[in-house]
Chain A
Amino acid sequence: MTRPLPTSSPSSRAQLLAGVAGWALALGLGSGCGGAPEPVASPHELSAVDQLLRGSMALRGLRPSPAEVERVTRDPAAVPELLRSYTETEAFAEVLADMHAQQLMLRANGIPKLVLPQRGPLEGIALGESQEAEQEWPLQLVRHVARNDLPYTEVVTADYTFSSDIISRAYGLPYDPTDPAEWQQVDWHDGRPGAGLLSETTLWRRHVSNGANFNRLRADIIADRLLCDPIGGRDVTIEGSIAVSDPDEVALAVSTQPECIACHQALDPLGGFLWGFKPQISKSAIQLAYDHDCGDEPIPSWQYTGDVADYCYPLKTYNPEWEADWAGWGLRAPNYYGQPASYLDELGQMVADDPRFATCTVRRFYSWFAQVDVDEVPYDVVEPLAADLVASGWSTRELAVAIVRRPEFRRSDDAGLGLLATRPEQYARALTELTGYRWIGAVDAGNCDLCWGEVDLARSALHGYRNVAGGTDDDNIIRPTHTTTPMKWLALSVFAQDAAGHAVAEAIAGRSPFPGFDPTLRDESATRAQLADLHLRVLSAPVTADSPEVDALVELVESSSDPTTGWTTALTALFLDPRMLLH
């Protein structure tokens, strides 16, 4: 694997980081997130600027602009309006996409069987590119809902999907190459009923079924992730022993043994809605199909169902003809917790109408923003927010703002939420917005048969550092880490240094990402003024040019005779300030 060339040698990188550590220690920042000294409304309430900063990071993953900080400093009452405006931005749509990706475990970069082989119409498409297209496919609906402030129920009722060039090649959906939009709203083309995310191929390619599982795992995803009813995690004691590898014994138990019935009476009929989907389509099935010339004969593997041709692009993932196949196995007919129905779109509407969908939506949003487990969100938080969500017409914007305006979000003491960790996606978004730098790596060595292409190192959990930087890999690590671990620090240190180096280089070349930033100016007053501006822009904390913070930064700038290195060190220090890693 290769990485992009660092902006300094390892030894200079170490020196630089030593300087950065000195910055943090000099300011006493290692133990907390104090923010700038400002008047506060009460001893326990965050300052208006810190409320804005926390809300901005939660809702957008971006730092407030100096103008916004200045406005709120003058008028603390402007915070709610600014927060609402943040939910109207593309960054908010990206945050919701991140949230759904994690909660539905969609960005599982490291599961080999999910790769789309470079065969047929995907020849020449880098594996990383096709993987990203497939993973982001269902998230287009989430972005669409956020951008247009559509009722959130749309995520389980939409009768459309989105298509891109790659998705069209791989799955046969229409795509207009003359339309400049990368993702285009289209109808399903294979007879599947539209039920938002429930109809999305990616979701059911990620969460598979097998011969004897009968879509139960998939049903559990619906119950757990959309209704907060983790059927698979219920605390049930099973009497005696059941050989779970024996399909006949399992089939008998789930219909006769009370402790099994308790779950399977809901789980199995829920899985009954999903029989139209292929149990699984893995990389090896696609390769096998192409090796057999995509013929009409049954695929020669016990793991897969259907014909060889089903597994050649465009992949055949759904067929209305299979919808009633549950009957052939003597299983329970589809129903939704006792309410009969047959089709996916009916299931989607039932989910939308279920009050648990409202309460679970609140739990999931709150869990994401407040960084607590879904089942730890208190009832007295959930129920009023759920009522407000429904009353607002299921507006995700209203819900998100309501959450970040709650008292515990605005508290600075232990009765509040404490410090919130900056997720790797947030950190990447913030650094890119500040500097224009994207942390991209190249992982292919020369000519390759299975080229992966470029990798977004902050967001990839396979070739990048999403999981070590506190995120998930949506496979083995499914809960984020909200503390600053040595690995997170190490990964983000490299990212911060590279971003700082990029920003300084751009500024020297006359393309400064920061207004007025010119590292070639050598007089101290100009240096101090620039450092004060950078402090405000990066940390949202105004300081004067003669403040101790600027004194410490000047020391870093002057720690090297080379101004590029000095300014890179100072910027890196700001990017690694605890106020960037925590908020």
Chain B
Amino acid sequence: MTLLASAPWLGTSCGKGDSPEPSGPTTADACDGGPTWDGYAKGVLTTWCTPCHARALTGTDRQGAPAGIELETLADAIQWAARIQARTVDTPSMPPGGGPSEEERERLGQWLSCGLPGTEAPPPACDDAEVRAGDVQIGSSDDARDLCASGPIEIEGSLVVTHAAVAMGCVCGVGGAIEIDGGSLQLPELTHAGPLTVRGDTTLVDLPSLGVLRGDLSVSSAPELHRLALPRLASAEGGVHIDDAPALTELALDRLSEVGGPVTLHRAGLRVVELPRLATAPALSFVDLPDLERPPVTDSLADVPGGIVLEAIGVPDLSQGLDSLVHATGDLVLRDLPTVSLEALRPLRTIQGDLVLESLPELVDGSGLVDLEEVRGDVIVRGAPGVPLSAWERWSDGIDIGGTLVLEPETTP
């Protein structure tokens, strides 16, 4: 997109009307092959100006740069050309602390004198998205093509995709819910949406730009789903529920740091679950994930008031993954695990709910619980024969237990 036409003061020659005084060569020959916006001027303005003169900066972050004077785009440069000329070329007073070399200033002046030559890539399409009222139903690729025919859109209502494999680069946001029942969905530009529901024969959901979900992320009875990628999702106002997705091997939730509801991952083919930025969740439940190779949570996790359940997951050694959990505010349930140690629980000091250790047939090292001081609820140990009863008794003697103590390591629950 060439913006020269939108610079009214430029006319056919430099130095006329409202234009700045030329400070460098102005002949066509001198300008030919001279500095351009992309090749030079944008870099200079980025280096010296946009750290203060940027739209995203407000208040004191602008360090005194007047509101409304931005120098990020070629259009900005055209708008403020005379001022740039005056304050950086003719009588250098910007940036306030100095810095640009004489050569840099002269070359910037040359660019201005030559008519600010250059082009700029169009702004992100979603900046100009049109609001589409009501709900949208997509049942075929033709529907998707029709929807995107008029350019980027913001869907005010819900988006329902049924049995269609579609990629829609035009969808920038969805005010209501997204429901996917069969097929696959790729929305590369989508940044925000209401609740997201996936079910049926859906195979793939790829939402690489989605940052905010205003509701639950819910996957249920989706036997074909193998990829659910929301790598930039930072916040879900609801919970994250995945249930019965045995083919799901790729789950990307790397950025998820805030959830408003429980995180429950049940019956899925996941080998890895990474939630490296999740510090708190109302509850966590990981059940029947037989292929899991590593513990499902990381040491960012500090507070789970609704409790943590790890049940029937394939992790052979629970030696890491809960490293920052010192005070569990709910229950802690470890059930039907092939783990040989509980080393990952070593930092744990208090549990405000119950502690349940059941069906841990391979467990031979319980020393990870040695520093536990208090359990306000019940303590139940069943089906952990690798550690003798006497050891469990010695261990429990050192803990302040508020509820019932059940030590039956030889008993199968």
Contact = CB atoms under 8 A, between A and B. Distances in A.
B255 interface: yes
B298 to A, nearest CB: 7
A271 B300 CA distance: 22
Interface string B247-272: 00000001100000000000000000
A262 B36 contact: no
A191 B347 CA distance: 21
A76 B206 CA distance: 53
A75 to B, nearest CB: 33
B99 A262 contact: yes
Interface in A245-273: 255, 257-263, 265-266, 269
A356 B346 CA distance: 49
Contact of B346 (A260, A296, A339, A355): A296
A335 B58 CA distance: 13
A383 B99 contact: no
A159 to B, nearest CB: 9
Contacts of A296: 346-347
B39 interface: yes
Contacts of A356: 43, 46-47
Contact of B97 (A255, A261, A338): A261
Interface in B241-296: 254-255, 274, 276-277, 279
A332 B51 CA distance: 11
Contact of B50 (A227, A255, A337): A337
Interface in A372-390: 379-380, 382-384, 386-387
A237 interface: yes
B153 interface: no
A235 B57 CA distance: 26
Contacts of B107: 379
A190 interface: yes
Nearest to B71: A338
Contacts of B98: 235-237, 259, 262
Contacts, number: 103
B347 to A, nearest CB: 7
A320 interface: yes
A261 B347 CA distance: 43
Interface residues of A, number: 43
Contacts of B53: 338
A359 interface: yes
- The residue in B33, B40, B42, B347 that gathers the most chain A C-beta atoms within 10 A of its C-beta is B40
B276 A338 contact: no
Interface string B91-103: 0000111110100
Nearest to A322: B300
Interface string A219-236: 000000001010000111
B346 A321 contact: no
Given A258-B97, A296-B347, A337 B46 contact: yes
Closest 9 CB pairs of A and B: A338-B54, A191-B276, A262-B97, A259-B97, A383-B39, A258-B96, A338-B50, A265-B51, A356-B43
Interface of A: 190-191, 193, 227, 229, 234-237, 255, 257-263, 265-266, 269, 296, 319-321, 323, 332, 335, 337-340, 343, 354-356, 359, 379-380, 382-384, 386-387
Interface of B: 33, 35-36, 38-40, 42-43, 46-47, 50-54, 56-57, 61, 63, 72, 95-99, 101, 107, 254-255, 274, 276-277, 279, 298-300, 324, 346-347
7 contacts: A190-B276, A229-B47, A259-B98, A262-B98, A265-B63, A321-B300, A383-B40
